Structure 1
């Protein structure tokens, strides 16, 4: 009988431990940090397909979108804070607010944003843009080249892409790198747009491969003006990156596939 009692006690303790662990993970994921992986090339060069990062949940306050599966536990938004131009944010994409997207904040309420010949202007003033060294990456399953004209090889005969790269500096002094690969693309002449109250104008850093606030919201595509209430969090740090060459059932292939130089980069 004592043995049976001990077994019941151990089972209860184990169940209690699992409950506490689940509660800890829920609180951590909802209010501190959550993982996010990059599924598209819209934020190159800063983010590449196969990057994994942590998203900080506290900078903009908390809402139902902070919770797993957008559980409607939190009414409205608690401790709200507006984003800062230049922030890389994760949000629920309009119009259905079901999918997580990641883009960069370019305009806030009252701003007039326009794109002309690929150059962004805010409130009638062109955003400073300077061409810098090319963005170079290895051609891998996660990172093909867009066109053959960008393909070349390094000194060891490895296939690489070389993209023209620019640095933009917003009026508040925030700088970041962008890609602008196609002349006269559909996104090079858009607007002007007036950002409504409570909204954001968001763009991808890879200007010709990003469906963003330059187009009206459409499910699974562009996002239009994004309500700040849709914010999930702010990109914090890259924690892992893979080039897509690893085989799931072959652990030996995992290490060569890792892009170690991208791990630990903050925003």
Structure 2
């Protein structure tokens, strides 16, 4: 078993090393599920086989020593040298390969359950959600807000809250489902969403906006001040950035070809208008002119939903961000 455990750890190190070096794309949810399953098997084996075997061996040692002492006492020898306690402790000691597998199972199980059904951490990798979320923000995602889903396969088994316009949602990127993305929900099933001449329309109604100030956007190149606005989607108000000199024309450019329901969208020199199909959502970045979103790669299906983002719990470059709640 020690050799088998060594091989498993070597495979884990190779997988993580290749993931870190970019040789392949890792799947943390699947990895955590496999680690939970493997350590659970070791934990069960320890509880029902290895630990009872060690306890029996230690008890046999005590019984044999007691019989030896009784035999010697019957012969008139009452003083017997030899302390078997160190040997008994050695028999009871858990080997390293069980300590590093069965011993880790409770911790890994707790992490697996918390991450799968309650909260998952997520790091903001780009400036597409500036000014709401900054590059380097470490956020928490509520996994059960939209319903309980089975880990790894992401199948919803219990429904909860409906997705609403204005929600900040983490989802599996339609072009590469192994990658998580974060955007704001602009359209829900049945909505007609139009982004024309840098203005957002939902079902023909202009989304209310109010100018705020200029925001220093250092998430892209060049780093400049951009006009910041308050925007209202549904009952939620949030801030967006709009670059007046940005090109207004968008085109479908999904890497793997036409996106599903692309026929629901009309692209013109002024912008794009899409009818959101059933079971799908239309996503936009708050940094409207620095975000590749549904305007380019289409709709997000319900089965791609990861959860609702709600809290910045850490930003090592800007500690003032810690504890920031957002819509």
Is the 1:82–1:228 Cα contact (8 Å) retained in structure 2?
no
Tell me the alpha carbon deviations over residues 73-111 of structure 1, each in whole angstroms, 9 at most, x when there is no partner. Answer: x6x311234311111000001134221000000110110
Q: Distance in 2 between matches of 1:15 and 1:144?
A: 42
Q: Distance in 2 between matches of 1:43 and 1:4?
A: 58
Q: Which has the larger radius of gyration?
A: 2
Is the 2:126–2:219 Cα contact (8 Å) retained in structure 1?
no
**Alignment partner, residue 176 of structure 1:** 238
**Alignment partner, residue 91 of structure 1:** 171
More strand by share: 1
Alignment of 1:1-267 (within 5 A): 1-8=87-94, 15-64=101-150, 67=151, 71-72=152-153, 76-80=155-159, 81-136=161-216, 143=218, 146-147=221-222, 150=224, 162-170=225-233, 172-185=234-247, 186-187=249-250, 189-215=270-296, 217=297, 224-242=298-316, 258-267=317-326
Tell me the alpha carbon deviations over residues 43-65 of structure 1, each in whole angstroms, 9 at most, x when there is no partner. Answer: 0001111111111100112335x
Is the 2:128–2:288 Cα contact (8 Å) retained in structure 1?
yes
Q: Distance in 1 between matches of 2:279 and 2:124?
A: 26
Tell me the alpha carbon deviations over residues 214-259 of structure 1, each in whole angstroms, 9 at most, x when there is no partner. Answer: 12x2xxxxxx1110111001112101113xxxxxxxxxxxxxxx30
**Alignment partner, residue 30 of structure 2:** none
Q: Secondary structure at the match of 1:8?
A: coil
Tell me the alpha carbon deviations over residues 103-158 of structure 1, each in whole angstroms, 9 at most, x when there is no partner. Answer: 00011011011111101001111000111022246xxxxx456336x2xxxxxxxx
Q: CA RMSD in A?
A: 2.3
Q: Distance in 2 between matches of 1:40 and 1:11?
A: 41
TM-score (norm 2): 0.62
Larger relative CO (CA 8 A, sep 6+): 1 or 2? 1
TM-score (norm 1): 0.75
Q: 1:202 to 1:2 in 2, by over 3 A?
A: same
Tell me the alpha carbon deviations over residues 171-211 of structure 1, each in whole angstroms, 9 at most, x when there is no partner. Answer: x2211000001435135933221000000010000001101
Q: Distance in 1 between matches of 2:188 and 2:219?
A: 34
Query: Structure 2 regions of 5+ residues with no counterpart?
Result: 1-86, 251-268
Q: 1:240 to 1:106 in 2, by over 3 A?
A: same
Q: Distance in 1 between matches of 2:285 and 2:311?
A: 18
More helix by share: 2
Is the 2:171–2:304 Cα contact (8 Å) retained in structure 1?
yes
After superposing on structure 2, the runs of 4+ consecutive aligned residues of structure 1 that deviate more than 6 Å are none
Q: Distance in 1 between matches of 2:306 and 2:243?
A: 30
State the aligned residue count: 220
Query: Structure 1 regions of 5+ residues with no counterpart?
Result: 138-142, 151-161, 218-223, 243-257
